[in-house]
Amino acid sequence: MIFKTILAEKKDGYAVVQLNRPAELNALSLGMREDLENCFVMLENDRDVHVVVLTGGDYVFSAGVDLKEMASIQDHEANQYFNSIYRPLKKIYSFPKPVIAAVGGVAFGGGFNLITVCDLIIASESAIFGHPELKFGLNPLFDPLRRLVGMAKAKELTMLGEPIGAKEAMRIGLVNRVVAPEKLMAETERTAFELATRPPEAISYVKKMAGIVPSLDKYSALELECDTEALLFAGPERKKLMSDFMESLKNRKRR
């Protein structure tokens, strides 16, 4: 998988996608957004890839959209330009396989948006998160952030635009784990490998439930999850996995 602005590498059951404009602090240009969208289309159809890691490297995730590029956009081009921002976000948000963001350094604006549409976020102790868009008269992406940290904190982060560090991000529920900078990729890839060993269909349904059930009343949510459980139970994947598990228990007893 060869792209101009990102690096993509397949590993043992998972892929690592790295933003690769280091001189521009991984600013999200139109070309990078197109590369991301195309890369995730390819990975969705790749049966050997069960999990994707999205990172900017050890020292920066992304400083946000490319402001030089944005400044050149004419008013009549605005809808087309912002649609180019929306498409890769939607692709990652709706991706049927788990996506883990590994965040080292700054994740501002569009870079912050990018991590909020991932499933898990692992941050380096050096990570900094911020939404400065309102200072430029623009609207931060609010809803994915609200779903992670709640209404009050999302309003604070987007309205004030003050950056927060990794420990505060962990405290408010934005990130799942904080690790030492030198351990960021090793810890993230260990998690990706572990997730890649899980049953793909079941993991896909967990993602679907996470997106659907918060908008349902509690009884409808319970009914939907029970129906999903019955569907998975009747499938061949579950039968093989349970058979393998029972066989492993027999083998332990024989020892």
Extents of the domains making up the chain? 6-196, 200-254
Q: How many CB atoms lie within 10 A of CB 208?
A: 14
Q: Is the pLDDT of residue 139 over 90?
A: no
Q: Output the pLDDT for position 228.
A: 86
As a residue count, the chain comes to 255
Q: Is the pLDDT of residue 174 over 90?
A: yes
- pLDDT by residue (tens digit) across 52-98? 999 999 999 999 999 888 889 898 998 998 899 999 999 999 999 99
Strand order across the beta sheet in which 128-130 lies: 106-108, 128-130, 164-165
Q: Which residues pair with 179 in a beta bridge?
A: 124
- Which distant-in-sequence residues (6+ apart) come within 8 Å of 65 by Cβ? 27, 28, 85, 109, 110
pLDDT tier, 246 (very low <50, low <70, confident <90, very high otherwise): low
Q: Output the pLDDT for position 195.
A: 96
Nearest to 68 by CA among 101, 122, 28, 115: 28
Q: Output the pLDDT for position 55.
A: 98
Q: Return mean pLDDT, the chain.
A: 92
- pLDDT by residue (tens digit) across 85-109? 999 999 999 999 999 999 999 999 9
Q: What is the pTM of this model?
A: 0.90
- Looking at per-residue pLDDT, the higher value among 251 and 155 belongs to 155
Q: How far is CA 96 from the centre of its chain?
A: 11
Q: How far is CA 122 from the centre of its chain?
A: 10
Question: Mean of the pLDDT values across residues 153-179?
Answer: 97
Q: Give me 118's structure tokens.
A: 């991932």
Q: Is the pLDDT of residue 126 over 70?
A: yes
Question: Mean of the pLDDT values across residues 126-153?
Answer: 93
pLDDT tier, 223 (very low <50, low <70, confident <90, very high otherwise): very high
pLDDT tier, 239 (very low <50, low <70, confident <90, very high otherwise): low
Whole-number Å distance between alpha carbons of 237 and 200: 9
The domain made up of 6-196 has a fold known as 2-enoyl-CoA Hydratase; Chain A, domain 1 (3.90.226)
Question: Mean of the pLDDT values across residues 221-230?
Answer: 88
